[in-house]
Amino acid sequence: MVSPLALLVGLLAVTVLLLLVLVFKPSITRAPGGKILAFVALFLAPGLAVVAGGANHMENSKRTEFCLSCHVMGPYGKSLHVDDAEYIPAVHYQSNFVPRDEACYTCHTDYVMYGTLRSKFRGLRHIAVQYLGTIPDTIKLYTPYNNRECLHCHGGARKFLKAGAHRGEANFFADVTSGKRSCMESGCHDVVHNVRELKDAATWQGGQP
Amino acid sequence: MNAGVPSPMDARIRISAALVILGLLIETATLFRNTPGSFLAFAFAGVACVVLGIAVFLISLVTVRNPPDR
């Protein structure tokens, strides 16, 4: 089956060929058929190519390799491979709880309407800081991590509902769902990326293609 | 009209087509690199050239008048 990328490249090639015809023989647009050609080559096809290209870039920007291509994200990538089950990102990545090729995006998008768009705008802000600003010494989330993102997968799951620590308090599930209590509060799932502690940490490289 | 003499509209179509070609070539180049830099090149160079080319074409349709046929 032809991949979307191959289709897009084909569209780009055909559009460029049509445009070259117009560059070398613009007088053909005086005929009715030429006017249609000009409209297709100068408006419809490029418009479609830009929309398809944008969609392709949006999909690519969800990939783990995209996030980790910035140097500053290196330690965060390492935290996916650390050989310690206390690390939440490592457990999720290594146990395939999240798709490995979209590991960052899966946990750091917003699971609400237009959440993908919102996370892409945050990404643009990251890019602006990367290229135009000063990268802070300690990278922090813009807002506290929302339990909603954890519960998108874990909410209602048997393991989540049956876990002993989750069943010990009367209002536990209501508090976690409302955000009154964070999944990552001290004593619970509080070892996340912890990049400052990773310098000499052992890593697990299994499952690499 | 003399077919051998380029009209003002022909010149605009050439400019428009050249801009769109440039934009599409930039877009093609960015498709094969998955980095924030390639996204920036796509959004701020590729798309900008294509949009400018399309705008030149559309504006020319309503503003440029070819000399009448003899």
Is residue B3 included in any domain, yes or no? no
Quote the CA–CA distance of A57 and B27 in Å, as a whole number: 10
The DSSP secondary-structure symbol of A82 reads B
Residue span of the structural domain in which B56 resides: 8-62
pTM for the structure as a whole = 0.84
Quote the CA–CA distance of B28 and B48 in Å, as a whole number: 14
DSSP H helices in A83-203: 88-94, 103-108, 115-132, 147-154, 158-162, 172-178
- C-alpha dihedral sign at A197, A198, A199, A200: positive
Quick: pLDDT tens for B32-56: 999 999 999 999 999 999 999 999 9
Quote the CA–CA distance of A27 and A119 in Å, as a whole number: 47
Is residue B50 included in any domain, yes or no? yes
Residue of A nearest to B43 (CA): A54
> Is the CB of residue B49 less than 8 Å away from at least one CB of chain A?
no
CB-CB neighbours of B52 under 10 Å: 16
A82: β partners: A203
Is residue B51 included in any domain, yes or no? yes
Average pLDDT, integer, range A70-78 = 92
Into how many domains does chain B fold?
Answer: 1
Quick: pLDDT tens for A155-182: 999 999 999 989 988 899 999 999 999 9
Is residue B70 included in any domain, yes or no? no
Is residue B67 included in any domain, yes or no? no
Top residue of A22, A48, A64 to mutate, by most chain B CBs within 10 Å, is A22
Both tokens of A13, joined, read 């090639």
Is residue B38 included in any domain, yes or no? yes
Both tokens of A164, joined, read 């002993």
Is residue B12 included in any domain, yes or no? yes
Quote the CA–CA distance of A6 and A1 in Å, as a whole number: 10
Of B63, B27, B54, the C-alpha closest to B43 is: B27
Residue of B nearest to A17 (CA): B21
Q: What is the ipTM of this complex?
A: 0.87
> Is the CB of residue B44 less than 8 Å away from at least one CB of chain A?
no
Pairwise CB contact (< 8 Å): A46 & B24: yes
A-B Cβ pairs (cutoff 8 Å, strict): 108
Is residue B16 included in any domain, yes or no? yes
Top residue of A5, A19, A21, A65 to mutate, by most chain B CBs within 10 Å, is A19
**How far is the alpha carbon of A112 from chain B, nearest alpha carbon, in Å?**
24
